[in-house]
Structure 1
């Protein structure tokens, strides 16, 4: 029970027509909670000496309904300040004023009304960029308490797609449907994204990975577009204001504070379609920036506790490249992170998280690297998060690179930056056939050393951060002038190749080569062991006009142009066919690394297998060069071929095990025609061509068992920059 002993009315300042009963309240949970006694407010603030709760009407006036000064003798339990208030309206805004000492890294300013770190709704912001031209210092965002009906989840349940069957699709909620060509009713919103679910089902992806959907300030970009003379917008949203609050501007019903319900509608709709929802979360820094940044919440609540500071407390340590770094391994910050993650899983039903600059989790309060970071152990071992997919971006902006070495890695998948770079370089013509072989095998050289599997590797060629697939084959260098930083921002080395001309071309040969190269990159990813991730729009060759850091481009550079789905329908068809080829064949997504040559044991199958299989030494994968069984892994080699034995799917002991098809794949990244001898199918079945990226659509990909037969021992010629895929008949 809450302590409802009333306090002296002198502790409450109200407007003339309002009076509220105030009591001591409870020290947990943090944030706002309700009971029969009233509404409880709880805030963690260790170093503050005076804390005031500011209550404001839901709409309009900034004149407070009341300002309640919390007396430490009555309203403080340890570091938790708390108060119970009776008689409040159904809905209202609120915030906190905090006073405290100067120095030692503190940044207290009682003039500021601060956001509640536990808030699930913020005021304002219902219209994208709607406050960019107003005095946000005067108005500001506020935490909101809104009594909405209990959400009806009906029979919603997580799809729980097995890792080996996952195909991730990375997208931006606003950018995916903001372009007029999207033809959705509520463009740029959760509702608009729901309208695109049938398309994503048709495409064949199993999960969407959403760029940050937490509240952020899209108006905080300081840079001017030199072409338009207008201020750019923070489009990506990696500057969080409230970790537990979905962004109002992404909700069609935000004017009615319906963003919580609309996001839940999105999750429920995706689950009904058998698609998982993964959130890109940013717990490495906040939107408060560096020493010159604005104070929204953490800086004014307890700056020295929430952030990594220099020893003298005067400067923010910046391991993120964004001005500040959260003190993630401090117990208080760990609790904040865990509460937010549990909220998104327990209350919002999301299926997993991609952690931006996750290596920040491995630093202590001085920035030193920890072997077993407490926050990572908590996330890894948490019961509520036990079924979640956990994906790390395993590096930070200060040089900590942990691909293959991320702590507690048995539970964590990783964005495999080595995969991205090696695949790009091979198809650029840099050779590296041996490295490509390792990446196709699931990067055993990266992950097998500590008993991990191919499924720990998130394989991607492009993502939001960098070139799109189209631009990867169309530009040799970045073109970021529109960002307003004189083209200094963004990566300089992209391992890209423009195929002979920078940017858009009227040369048919160059354009054909670009499409072929894009097919090669997409096909390689979907033929590789591990978990593939496709960037939204790559399936129909979306362009960002050579911009490889479009974080501040809220325009057609970043918006998905859906007319390209028709213009580049042949490439879209090829991508979809490759996705479904992968899904049909478990040999393409094994749960275990290849073993090489083994002696087969088919005794449990009785007479259902051919006699010539019994006791046979077989290899799950065999590498080839221009001659069978003679691969060239030289660093200068631009040709690689392999066969996969359909009997060896990595699931031989599973009760529902079935023999798959055999595969032969040949990759020619050279400038010359390659003529090579076709090896026999491992199970002595006929080879039929399924894909040849040198051919025009629809011959570039044909249905299985319908393509021309390619006999073992025959010589096949593949033009420069092409892939051949043969699949055994039956």
Structure 2
């Protein structure tokens, strides 16, 4: 401690929220509508000893504030809030509990699970209506005063157009923890994201946008630790401003900024998966570590008339009350902090339907959506919603406002079912690859609003989609009862790994067909990290608690013959997409003529004849030709023809219309790809395969 702690704080200001260093001292401001007193607790450099406790001297518009002269960056602190402990009325104040600042930019020390963290007496017959008087400070991490200083140099946001965006979903720890070309102390941290070889890998795949699973500080759930497991995914937020301490190395907060700057220099955007729908503190039986102790009735949605209990539309025990103006302000301040202090390029909102809920249910004109879309900073970034939650009317795919893209699970499930060979899937498959216009073609939205994927962190990896019929989540310790039971997958003859060449060949074909569908469909393609070289989770489709080799990306696979070939294939797919405007997502295609006799979108059967309306209802039809065309700015007509065989047997496709010398660009039935001219009027396409032809060979592919 390099200053003398005074007897009292100066009044300070009610803004900005959090702890703000001005060069001469630190201003503290924290919201609580119902507290009777809030104390600032100051700790020594180790965070073990409380060396000062000073009441915040003033409260303006429900914001408590005070100013500590001569304090500066590195100061460790927390709060204690005084008020009624009356859970049945929604009040859970307990000044014996040290509270993390909701606006803390950095945390010092881990949370150490202890019964003292709970506002009530664990084991009491009165449950959470009892009151616990033990001090929790020794079990709590401390908030840290920081100063945001970083040389961004000439950094510029890439601002990749949505129509050219390719997303790569990755986990900060999992993507690098097994890389032997990175220093051991940097593996699993933000610093590893700046590794040139990783950036080269992304560029080689054609990735434009790196989407990171939650990076803000999250709780290691007690029930997992007691089972010898850990929260790996990070969807139990502890702080909405502080990065996860485990992801920081020697450079602290600037590790993340340096990674963003180097990714930007390579033209790659960075999107964060953010969790504002709930906190990791659970329901009424959870710990008192921040929001609950500061103002439970304001921060959370409580059951009307029985405020002891939490509305749980998230499945995580509580729901953040973003309809409250101060809570909404906190969310907006958090988003702007990531966007401005770390130059993040966009956000993917976990359980986005929850954030759009008002008193009457989901509302695309909710305060949350309106606040973001009018914001001069946030409205210019990429905004993606996970469009569902578990509450009433919680499935809202396609119903978000313009400006938001949405994870399209109907694409995932429909495309898996088609390539699995399910009957009656041809019409749905056509709808999905043409941008899911049935869901998104409204309010002038564009096809890019559909985030197209067949695998994400939540569910099977791509390798497991073609290797397992059933989920295998036994390692999670829940008797395989967790995770979705229906994955629309197929093991093609053997459950799990096999050495059977025929099965391996078939799995490879289906894998490549699935990847081709994601890459070449209208919409925004998203890849799961490691799918480009065959990463498996051994059939676990809910690996949220597997912080081990089951979840980590094994880069040795990328060096294997099969893995390298698959990565090269993905690169070819993205190159084809990039070279043809007709395959991008600038507008919905409706079969309009772009040149004499050539429409922007046309559907044919394997005989080269246009599909009549009744043919779409044929449940056994699994063959399809889709032709896309566009007229470029230079007056050049581009035509791309996709031959799709979702059946088991090879089919001869006769090309539609006037005879052209088609150029073969993609043949998913083969691991290796070669460009060649196809002068014949027809072509055999093996089962479970996609062939892509065009009327020209792009210069980049010659």
Question: TM-score normalized by structure 2?
Answer: 0.91
Give the 4+ runs in structure 1 shifted more than 6 A. Answer: 14-17, 132-136
Match of 2:307 in 1: 313
Could you tell me how far apart the structure 1 residues matched to 2:522 and 2:35 are? 53
1:46 to 28, 33, 44: 33
Distance 1:522 1:221, change over 3 A: farther
Query: 1:245: Cα distance to partner?
Result: 1.1
1:180 is displaced (CA, Å) by 4.8
Q: Report how far residue 630 of structure 1 moved.
A: 3.5
Deviation at 1:644, TM superposition (A): 3.0
Q: Note if 1:692 corresponds to 2:667.
A: yes
For 2:222 and 2:164, the matched residues in 1 are separated by 39
Does structure 1 residue 118 correspond to structure 2 residue 103? Answer: yes
1:252 offset after TM fit, Å? 1.5
SS in 2 for 1:411: coil
Cα offset for 1:28?
Answer: 1.0
Task: Confirm or deny: 8 A CA contact 1:21 1:86 kept in the other structure.
Answer: no
> Matches of 1:581 and 1:397 in 2, distance apart?
39
Any unmatched runs of 5+ in structure 2?
118-135, 698-702
What secondary structure is seen at the aligned counterpart in 2 of 1:65? strand
Q: Which one of the candidate residues 669, 684, 708 is aligned to 2:646? A: 669
| Pair 441,15 (structure 1): closer, same or farther in 2 beyond 3 Å | closer
User: Does structure 1 retain, via aligned residues, the 8 Å contact 2:107–2:143?
Assistant: yes
CA contact (8 A) 1:232 1:554 kept: yes
| Cα distance per residue 1:503-547 (max 9 Å; x no partner) | 111211111111111000000111101110000000001000000
Q: Which of residues 351, 361, 376 in structure 2 aligns to 1:357?
A: 351
The normalised TM-score by structure 1 is 0.87
Cα distance change, pair 645–502 in 1 and its aligned pair in 2 (3 A): closer
Q: Closer, same or farther in 2 for the Cα pair 1:17/1:162, shift >3 Å?
A: closer
1:711 matched to 2:690: no
Partner of 2:80: 97
List per-residue Cα deviations over 1:677-708 (Å, max 9, x = no partner): 12246xx641122222223x32xx213xxx14
Q: 1:314 to 1:203 in 2, by over 3 A?
A: same
Q: Measured at CA, do residues 729 and 15 of structure 1 come closer, stay the same or move farther in structure 2, by a change above 3 Å?
A: closer
Structure 1 residue aligned with 2:390: 397
Which residue of 1 is the match for residue 92 of structure 2?
107
Equivalent residue, structure 1, for 2:55: 69
In structure 1, runs of 5+ residues without a counterpart are 1-13, 601-612
Match of 1:629 among 578, 588, 609: 609
Answering whether residue 164 of structure 2 is matched by residue 171 of structure 1, we say no
Residue number in structure 1 paired with 2:221:
220
Partner of 1:348: 342
Partner of 1:412: 404
Cα deviations across residues 242-280 of structure 1 (Å, max 9, x unaligned)?
A: 111111211112xxxx43211111110110000000000
1:99/1:516 CA distance change after superposition, 3 Å? same
| Residue 695 (structure 2) pairs with residue 728 (structure 1) | yes
Pairing 1:282–2:284 present: no
Mapped to 1, the partners of 2:545 and 2:637 lie a distance apart of: 46
- Partner SS state of residue 482, structure 1: helix
Q: For 1:22-70, what per-residue CA distance to the aligned partner results, in whole angstroms no more than 9, with x for missing partners?
A: 311111111111336521111111101121110112325x222210023
Change (3 A) 1:657 1:166: farther
Taking the aligned partners of 2:665 and 2:4, their CA distance within structure 1 comes to 77
Could you tell me whether the CA contact under 8 Å between 2:628 and 2:641 is conserved in 1?
A: no
C-alpha distance after superposition, 1:321-351 (max 9, x if no partner): 1111101111111101110111111111000
- Output the CA distance in 2 between the equivalents of 1:203 and 1:131: 41
Partner of 1:159: 158
Q: Confirm or deny: 8 A CA contact 1:434 1:635 kept in the other structure.
A: no
Q: Quick check: 1:619 aligned with 2:599?
A: yes
Aligned to 1:410, what secondary structure does the other structure show?
coil
Matched ranges for 1:144-543 at <5 A: 144-147=144-147, 150-181=149-180, 183-185=182-184, 186-195=186-195, 196-217=198-219, 219-223=220-224, 231-253=228-250, 258-311=251-304, 312-364=306-358, 368-370=361-363, 372-398=365-391, 400-407=393-400, 409-431=401-423, 432-543=425-536
Shift, 1:400, TM fit: 3.3
Pairs within 5 Å for 1:24-43: 24-35=11-22, 38-43=25-30
SS in 2 for 1:175: coil
In 2, Cα distance between the equivalents of 1:165 and 1:16?
Answer: 54
Work out which of the residue numbers 629, 642, 647 in structure 1 matches 2:630. Answer: 647
- The aligned residue for residue 131 of structure 2 is none
Contact (CA 8 Å) 2:190, 2:248: kept in 1 or not?
Answer: yes
Say which SS state the counterpart of residue 222 (structure 1) adopts: helix
C-alpha contact (below 8 Å) 1:20/1:87 kept by paired residues: no
* Residue equivalent to 2:121: none
Q: Indicate conservation of the 8 Å contact 1:463/1:535, yes or no.
A: yes
Alpha carbons 1:53, 1:70 under 8 Å: kept? yes
Moved more, 32-41 or 102-111: 32-41
Tell me the number of residue pairs that the alignment of Structure 1 and Structure 2 aligns: 666
Equivalents in 2 of 1:131, 1:578: separation in Å?
Answer: 48
Name the counterpart of 1:605. none
In the TM superposition, residue 221 of structure 1 has moved relative to its aligned partner by 4.9
Aligned partners of 2:4 and 2:71: how far apart in 1?
13
Question: RMSD of the alignment, in Å?
Answer: 2.3
Could you tell me whether the CA contact under 8 Å between 2:231 and 2:546 is conserved in 1? yes
Distance in 2 (alpha carbons) for counterparts of 1:96 and 1:188: 31
- Over 3 Å counting, the alpha-carbon distance change for 1:51 and 1:307 in structure 2 is same
Q: Single out whichever of 308-317 and 18-27 deviates more from structure 2.
A: 18-27
Deviations 1:619-645 (A, max 9, x none): 112211121123342252442333435
Secondary structure of 2:617 counterpart: coil
Contact in 1 for aligned 2:7/2:54 (Cα 8 Å): no
Query: Could you tell me whether the CA contact under 8 Å between 1:639 and 1:666 is conserved in 2?
Result: no
Distance 1:36 1:527, change over 3 A: closer
The equivalent of 1:604 in structure 2 is none
Change (3 A) 1:635 1:532: farther
CA–CA distance in structure 2, aligned partners of residues 635 and 357 of structure 1: 36
Judge conservation of contact 2:348–2:385 (CA < 8 Å) in 1. Answer: yes
How many Å separate the matches in 1 of 2:456 and 2:374?
29
Cα–Cα, structure 1 residues 111 and 221, in superposed 2: closer, same or farther, change >3 Å? closer
